[in-house]
A and B are shown apart, each in its own frame.
Chain A
């Protein structure tokens, strides 16, 4: 696990062809790690018939969006160190 509760992170602002679970409205946004949920299979590969391995750490990230603070579950490979 790379990040800990309280860490600032930024969601990668990248396009992704095919199934993924990172909503567009947080791409490129910075937030704060709120919870570390544990490791889960990767939906981006599992959606296409694989086992979804290796598992990826899933975090709950808090974003101060307008108009309300929003908590989104984001997989580790979408997160970068943020400010």
Chain B
């Protein structure tokens, strides 16, 4: 444990680690891009601010609306970008967002094996594990094993589909609506739709009535 000043009491490795050199590299790169006129000063900050202002709540609104409105569901699966705009959401700069639907028969899981492509506009920044090498390789080589580690046992009858977002398309999973949610309103339903369920590594939360 390091001996720097703490306002919390759990042990951990020094947080700085490699971050110092990464930050220095990022600053140098930004300086170079500004100097060469590729970006304007402030562009990077503005984009980072936009990115961290995004959250899975937007994706959850799409899923919940799809659960309660079959017409919207069809539109979402047909053109997710247009559907997001319909709800007043910002689908982001990616030209195409594709939504896929999990059903009793079919389960989708999303990965970017080449880097960390992710529907950031609708889900916010990707979790660290999504960008990790083990997830990026094992989502393809052992997807059922990955799902089991996330606590999801699909059963043999369910067809598993892996979506590798290798290019310009961003994929969003519309998870299965949980049992026992017939009486819930759209906002309550959206609260059940987690980030992980929209990546396809988890089911949505169970309604509170089912837990109690």
Contact = CB atoms under 8 A, between A and B. Distances in A.
A23 B159 CA distance: 23
Nearest to B111: A70
Given A68-B161, A69-B162, A21 B114 contact: yes
A75 B167 contact: yes
A48 interface: no
Contacts of A35: 98
Contacts, number: 61
Contact size range, A: 20 to 34
Contacts of A23: 113-114, 164, 166
Contacts of B164: 23, 70-73
Contacts of A65: 140
A37 B161 contact: no
Contacts of A67: 141-144
Contacts of A38: 95-96
A35 B159 CA distance: 19
Contacts of B160: 68-69
A45 interface: no
A33 interface: no
A25 B162 CA distance: 13
Interface of A: 21-23, 25, 35, 37-38, 40, 43, 58, 60, 65, 67-75
Interface of B: 95-96, 98, 113-114, 140-144, 159-169
